[in-house]
């Protein structure tokens, strides 16, 4: 029981220290970097929940982000407070996931991945011509600005992103230690065996899908408070898929610490390669391929292997020292 208690106390301490950053005068650039890191971490945690623990290679996170962002923006145009718009955007993303779940789950493997990849592109095309509010010069491909967020400070945005990231970590932690997590792992390992053992495949997949869509939508809506304008090319860009996917794969798919490590690396790469424009994603793609080839279990897997090697070695050295003493 000591290790879980120490881990819990350490996690709380880190969370408290991070929450104090805007108060103690941390430079604004650092708050900016950490805000992006928290958003990527929340997205990566949810993509890891689907791909790493449920076996669903979901390629439509940008659909959830875009729908949540548009719900937030259009809500502010009709007088809805942005705080309500945040939750409404996440709810719309989850509702969309519910609508597509039945036909999507009938597809398996690569067919499920391709089917989910098509959806954001269809939404992007549709929003290019959609104009629900305003005059002829508002909406469509030009997008919408988010109203009523001018008074929201970077510190407020930082705390919001921190809360979402912490909630995503806590959710995954709880899910993996509940019956839901056991069922999801069984589905990932062998869906037919899980079904024959009495696992309700559709229900468990649906629960994880809705949770992931809600948190991804919440993170996406929070981002469009930070960058208060949404348009089809930004809301439904494939970057919202590639970034959490890269973070999960680089960090270590199917591990709780993997998305944290990967999100930190992806955030660093984003700002490091910002001046390279379109080449940025290409360079990150090369890095991803190298990691997949060299470290198929990600950095977290490498750390576990090193730890598993050193721990028995230390035990052997300690035992050998005792033998020599005797």
The CATH number for 229's domain is 1.10.3470
Stretches where the chain sits below pLDDT 70 are: 1-5, 132-141, 307-326
pTM: 0.88
Beta bridge partners of 189: none
Phi-psi region of 104 (alpha: psi -120 to 50; beta: other; left: phi over 0): alpha
Distance in angstroms (rounded) separating the CA atoms of residues 268 and 36: 10
Range of the domain at 96: 26-294
Tell me, yes or no, whether 42 lies in a domain. yes
Tell me, yes or no, whether 315 lies in a domain. no
Tell me, yes or no, whether 102 lies in a domain. yes
Tokens of 223: 């981002």
Distance in angstroms (rounded) separating the CA atoms of residues 66 and 240: 9
pLDDT value for 326: 47
Candidates 4, 160, 155; CA nearest to 72 is 160
Tell me, yes or no, whether 274 lies in a domain. yes
Please give the helix or strand (H or E) that residue 230 lies within, else none: strand 229-230
pLDDT value for 306: 75
pLDDT value for 321: 52
Tell me, yes or no, whether 196 lies in a domain. yes
Tell me, yes or no, whether 154 lies in a domain. yes
DSSP state of 178: S
Query: End-to-end distance of the chain based on CA atoms, in angstroms?
Result: 33
Q: Count the residues in the chain.
A: 326
Q: Based on the structure, what is the number of domains in the chain?
A: 1
Tell me, yes or no, whether 314 lies in a domain. no
Distance in angstroms (rounded) separating the CA atoms of residues 255 and 297: 9
Tell me, yes or no, whether 324 lies in a domain. no
pLDDT value for 320: 46
pLDDT value for 134: 56
């Amino acid at each position: 029981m000591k290790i879980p208690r120490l881990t819990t106390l350490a996690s709380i301490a880190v969370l408290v220290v991070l929450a104090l950053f805007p108060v103690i005068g941390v430079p604004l650039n650092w708050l900016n970097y950490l805000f992006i890191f928290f958003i990527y971490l929340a997205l990566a945690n949810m993509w890891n929940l689907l791909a790493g623990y449920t076996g669903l290679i979901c390629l439509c996170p940008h659909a959830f982000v875009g729908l949540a962002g548009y719900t937030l923006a259009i809500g502010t145009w009709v007088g809805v407070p942005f705080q309500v718009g945040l939750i409404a955007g996440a709810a719309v993303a989850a509702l969309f996931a519910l609508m597509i779940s039945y036909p999507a789950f009938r597809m398996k493997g690569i067919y499920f991945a391709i089917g989910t990849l098509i959806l954001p592109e269809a939404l992007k095309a549709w929003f290019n011509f959609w104009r629900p509010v305003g005059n002829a010069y508002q909406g469509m491909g030009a997008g919408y600005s988010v109203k009523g967020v001018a008074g929201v400070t970077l510190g407020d945005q930082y705390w919001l992103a921190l809360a979402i990231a912490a909630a995503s970590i806590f959710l995954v932690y709880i899910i993996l230690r509940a019956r839901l997590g056991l069922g999801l792992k069984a589905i990932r390992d062998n869906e037919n065996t899980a079904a024959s053992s009495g696992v309700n495949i559709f229900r468990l997949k649906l629960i994880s899908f809705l949770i992931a869509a809600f948190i991804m939508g919440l993170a996406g809506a929070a981002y469009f408070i930070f960058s208060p304008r949404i348009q089809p090319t930004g809301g439904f860009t494939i970057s919202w898929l590639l970034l959490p996917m890269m973070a999960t794969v680089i960090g270590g798919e199917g591990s709780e610490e993997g998305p944290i490590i990967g999100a930190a690396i992806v955030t660093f790469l984003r700002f490091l390669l910002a001046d390279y424009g379109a080449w940025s994603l290409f360079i990150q793609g090369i890095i991803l391929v190298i990691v997949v080839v060299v470290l198929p279990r990600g950095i977290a897997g490498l750390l576990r292997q090193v730890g598993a090697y050193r721990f028995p070695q230390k035990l052997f050295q300690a035992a050998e020292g005792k033998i020599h003493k005797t």
